[in-house]
C-alpha cells in the first residue's frame, strides 16, 4: 500500500513537472487574478517549479529560474496574481516541485508578520486557510533557503529571484481600475561589490516591457511592488505623480489627503510597495529606476549568462557602440508610456530667452579625473571658463520661455534631459522615444546641435543631465542643477545654496562621493536670523546620500520646503530634524534660519561607501 502511494506520488510529480528546458515561464502582466473566487472564497493551487525565463524577446535568450505556477498552467513571473476583495477567505494549496526546501513568505492574512512563513520540503504539499485581511498592496515570495545567509537583506537572488508575486486586497464595493507592476532583479552574485543584473518590471526588461497607452487627463492608478533586494528610485518624466500609500509588503499605510506626496521620484526600498495616482499629460514618457545599474545597456540576459559562465561579475566586457536609435540605450527597469492628445501650451510671459549649453571634454583637476562637463553661453559670455562637473547652475524664470541650444563638442553622441521639468516630450531628452508628431527626439551627434524649448511652469529646484550612455556620461560629469525662480526674483548664491551629490567612476565603483564636484568644501559664512535655502540633489549613478545639518549639540532643525521642484503643501512644510536621505534622482529643498553664532556642519554621507563630505558653516 505504502509503495503504491509512493509510486502514485512519483507519477504525480512527473506529470506535474516537465523538464525545465521545456517549461517556459510566462511574463505576468498582473491583469488577471489567479484561482477561482466563489461565494467569497478564493480557491487557488500554487506550485513552485523550475523553468526558463525570457526577460527580453520571447525568442531571445533565457535564464533558468524558479517560479510560481497555478496548477496545470505555465509558471509565471511575477507569480500568479492573488487579488480578492476584503472579507474573502483564501483556501490555498502549495506544492514544492523544486529540488530544495522552500521558505514561503506572505501567504497569510494582512497585515501580517514577516516571520510568519511556510517551510516546504521538496515534493511536499501544504494546505493554507486564512482570511484576506485589510485592503492594501502586499507581496508573497519564496526562497530556497540555502543561500539566504549570502543574500542581500535576506531577499532571494539568482534562481530564486523570480519567486515573488503580487497580493492585492481590494476595498469592498466596486474596485477602481488600476495596474500592478512588480519590480524584480535577477543577480548572479551577492558576495562581490558589483553583480551582473537583469532588472525587470512584470518579468520583462526594456525595450520588452509592456508599452502603456493613455489619454491626456486620464486618472491612472498603479500599484508598485518591489520584490527585489535593492532600492529603486522610480522616476517619471515630464510630470508629477502622487504617492497615495506606501507599504513594506506585509502592511500598507494609506495616506490621508494631507499626507499624499507629489513627486517625480519616489524610492521604493527592497520589499516596499506604493500606490500612485497620475494624470498624464500628452506625450511619450518613460517611468524608470534612476539607479543606472538598473537601466544600463550592459544589464542584458546575454551579459548575465556570460557573467554566470565566467563567474566574474566585475569584468567590464567590451560593448560595441549601442544602436541608439529606437530607445535601446537603456535596458531593464523602464516603462514606455504614450499619452495621446496635445498638451496645452503653458502660459508664457515675455520674449524667449536664448542660451547655449556646450557639452565638452573636461580636463582633470585636483581629486577629479578628466571626463565631460558643461558650459553655458549667453550673450557671448561663456560660464565657467572651463567645463565643470556639475555644470553651472542654470537659473531660469517661471513662465518665461527658454530656448537652449545644446552644442555637442564631444567625440560621442549625447542628449540632455530636464529632470523634473514639465515640458513637451520631444524636448525631454530621451532619444528614439520622445516625439513630436512622427518625429522622434534625436541623439545629438558629435559636432551637432539640438534646440530644446520649454517654459518652466513652476519655480523650484530641478536638474539637467545626460540621458544617453548614462553610466559613462553621468559618471563622467554630465549633470548640473537647474533652478527656476519666481518672476522678479534674483538668485543670491550667498543665501540660496545648491548641493549636488555625485560620484565619479563607471558603475559607481571607483571613487568617493563628491559634493559640487569636490571632496572638500570652503567654509560658508552665515548670519544669525537670515533664512538660508538648501537645495539638495543626488545625481550619483546608483547611490543614496544622507544629508544632515549639525551644530555643537547635534542635529539641528530645518523646515521642509519642496520635493523634486514642487512646493510642499502647508501640511507637509514642517519643521523637523535636519536629516534627509536623498536617493539618486531625488531633490529636496529645506530652509534653515540660524538662531545664534555657532560652527555648523552640513554632512553629506554614504555609510555603505564609508564616504563623507562636510560643508563647514560659521554663523556670526
Residues of the shown chain interacting with Cu ion in the complex, contacts defined by CB under 5 A: 232, 289, 291, 294
Nearest distance from residue 183's CB to Cu ion, in Å?
A: 7
Interatomic CA distance for residues 455 and 349, integer angstroms = 9
DSSP single-letter state for residue 485: E
φ and ψ at residue 306, rounded to 5 degrees: -65, -45
Query: Looking at beta carbons only, is 223 or 232 nearer to Cu ion?
Result: 232
The span from the first CA to the last CA of the chain, in angstroms, equals: 91
Beta pairing, strands 545-551 & 598-606: antiparallel
Query: Looking at beta carbons only, is 182 or 289 nearer to Cu ion?
Result: 289
Query: Looking at beta carbons only, is 266 or 533 nearer to Cu ion?
Result: 266
Query: Looking at beta carbons only, is 108 or 294 nearer to Cu ion?
Result: 294
Query: Looking at beta carbons only, is 278 or 291 nearer to Cu ion?
Result: 291
Nearest distance from residue 184's CB to Cu ion, in Å?
A: 10
Cell numbers representing residue 393 in the block: 547652475
Nearest distance from residue 364's CB to Cu ion, in Å?
A: 30
Nearest distance from residue 21's CB to Cu ion, in Å?
A: 30
10 Å CB burial of residue 256 (0-12, 13-18, 19+) is: exposed
How many Cα atoms occupy the beta-carbon half-sphere of 160 within 13 Å? Answer: 27
Nearest distance from residue 304's CB to Cu ion, in Å?
A: 16
Nearest distance from residue 228's CB to Cu ion, in Å?
A: 8
What burial letters (b/e) apply to 269-292, b meaning 16+ CB within 10 Å?
Answer: bbbbbbbbbbebbbbbbbbbbbbb
Cβ pair 202, 210 in contact under 8 A:
yes
- Residues 616, 619, 620: CA angle, nearest 5 degrees: 145
Interatomic CA distance for residues 584 and 536, integer angstroms = 11
DSSP 383-404: EEEEEESSPPPEEEETT--EEE
Q: Which of 197, 391, 207 is nearest to 305 (CA)?
A: 197
Nearest distance from residue 289's CB to Cu ion, in Å?
A: 3
Nearest distance from residue 333's CB to Cu ion, in Å?
A: 5
Query: Looking at beta carbons only, is 195 or 408 nearer to Cu ion?
Result: 195
Q: Which of 334, 331, 337, 335 is nearest to 319 (CA)?
A: 331
Nearest distance from residue 43's CB to Cu ion, in Å?
A: 36
Interatomic CA distance for residues 470 and 539, integer angstroms = 11
Amino acid at each position: 500500500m505504502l509503495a503504491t502511494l509512493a509510486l502514485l506520488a512519483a507519477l504525480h510529480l512527473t506529470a506535474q513537472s516537465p523538464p525545465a528546458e521545456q517549461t517556459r515561464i510566462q511574463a505576468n502582466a498582473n491583469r488577471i487574478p489567479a484561482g477561482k473566487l466563489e461565494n467569497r472564497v478564493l480557491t487557488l493551487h500554487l506550485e513552485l517549479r523550475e523553468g526558463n525565463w525570457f526577460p527580453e524577446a520571447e525568442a531571445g535568450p533565457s535564464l533558468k529560474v524558479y517560479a510560481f505556477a497555478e496548477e496545470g498552467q505555465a509558471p509565471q513571473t511575477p507569480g500568479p496574481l492573488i487579488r480578492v476583495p476584503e472579507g474573502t477567505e483564501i483556501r490555498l494549496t502549495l506544492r514544492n516541485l523544486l529540488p530544495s526546501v522552500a521558505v514561503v513568505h506572505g501567504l497569510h492574512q494582512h497585515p501580517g508578520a514577516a516571520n510568519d512563513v511556510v517551510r516546504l520540503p521538496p515534493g511536499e504539499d501544504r494546505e493554507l486557510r486564512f482570511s484576506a485581511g485589510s485592503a492594501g498592496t502586499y507581496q508573497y515570495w519564496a526562497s530556497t533557503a540555502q543561500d539566504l545567509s549570502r543574500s542581500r537583506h535576506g531577499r532571494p537572488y539568482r534562481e530564486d529571484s523570480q519567486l515573488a508575486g503580487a497580493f492585492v486586497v481590494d476595498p469592498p464595493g466596486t474596485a477602481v481600475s488600476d495596474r500592478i507592476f512588480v519590480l524584480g532583479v535577477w543577480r548572479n552574485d551577492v558576495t562581490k561589490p558589483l553583480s551582473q543584473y537583469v532588472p525587470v518590471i512584470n518579468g520583462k526588461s526594456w525595450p520588452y516591457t509592456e508599452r502603456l497607452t493613455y489619454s491626456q487627463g486620464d486618472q491612472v492608478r498603479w500599484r508598485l511592488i518591489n520584490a527585489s533586494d535593492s532600492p529603486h528610485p522610480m522616476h517619471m518624466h515630464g510630470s508629477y505623480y502622487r504617492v497615495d500609500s506606501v507599504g513594506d509588503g506585509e502592511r500598507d499605510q494609506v495616506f490621508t489627503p494631507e499626507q499624499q506626496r507629489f513627486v517625480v521620484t519616489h524610492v521604493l526600498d527592497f520589499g516596499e510597495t506604493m500606490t500612485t495616482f497620475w494624470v498624464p499629460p500628452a506625450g511619450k514618457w518613460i517611468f524608470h529606476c534612476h539607479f543606472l545599474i538598473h537601466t544600463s545597456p550592459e544589464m542584458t540576459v546575454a551579459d548575465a549568462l556570460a557573467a554566470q559562465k565566467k563567474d566574474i561579475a566585475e569584468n567590464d566586457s567590451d560593448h560595441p557602440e549601442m544602436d541608439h536609435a529606437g530607445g535601446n540605450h537603456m535596458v531593464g527597469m523602464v516603462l514606455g508610456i504614450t499619452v495621446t492628445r496635445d498638451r496645452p501650451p503653458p502660459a508664457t510671459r515675455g520674449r524667449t530667452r536664448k542660451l547655449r549649453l556646450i557639452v565638452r571634454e573636461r580636463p582633470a583637476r585636483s581629486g577629479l579625473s578628466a571626463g565631460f562637463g558643461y558650459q553655458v553661453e549667453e550673450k557671448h559670455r561663456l560660464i565657467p571658463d572651463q567645463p565643470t562637473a556639475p555644470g553651472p547652475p542654470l537659473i531660469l524664470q517661471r513662465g518665461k520661455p527658454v530656448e537652449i541650444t545644446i552644442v555637442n563638442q564631444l567625440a560621442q553622441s549625447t542628449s540632455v534631459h530636464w529632470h523634473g521639468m514639465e515640458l513637451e516630450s520631444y524636448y525631454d531628452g530621451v532619444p528614439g522615444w520622445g516625439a513630436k508628431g512622427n518625429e522622434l527626439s534625436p541623439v545629438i551627434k558629435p559636432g551637432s546641435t539640438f534646440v530644446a524649448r520649454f517654459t518652466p511652469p513652476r519655480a523650484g529646484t530641478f536638474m539637467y543631465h545626460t540621458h544617453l550612455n548614462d553610466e559613462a556620461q553621468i559618471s563622467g560629469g554630465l549633470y548640473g542643477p537647474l533652478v527656476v525662480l519666481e518672476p522678479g526674483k534674483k538668485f543670491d548664491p550667498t543665501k540660496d545654496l545648491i548641493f549636488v551629490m555625485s560620484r565619479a567612476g563607471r558603475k559607481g565603483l571607483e571613487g568617493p562621493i563628491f559634493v559640487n564636484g569636490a571632496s572638500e568644501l570652503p567654509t560658508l559664512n552665515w548670519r544669525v536670523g537670515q533664512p538660508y535655502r538648501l537645495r539638495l540633489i543626488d545625481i550619483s549613478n546608483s547611490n543614496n546620500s544622507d544629508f544632515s545639518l549639525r551644530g555643537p549639540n547635534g542635529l539641528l532643525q530645518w523646515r521642509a520646503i519642496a520635493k523634486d521642484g514642487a512646493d510642499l503643501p502647508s501640511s507637509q512644510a514642517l519643521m523637523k530634524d535636519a536629516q534627509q536621505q536623498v536617493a539618486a534622482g531625488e531633490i529636496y529643498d529645506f530652509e534653515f534660519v540660524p538662531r545664534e553664532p555657532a560652527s555648523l556642519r552640513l554632512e553629506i554621507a554614504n555609510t555603505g561607501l564609508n564616504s563623507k563630505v562636510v560643508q563647514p558653516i560659521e554663523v556670526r
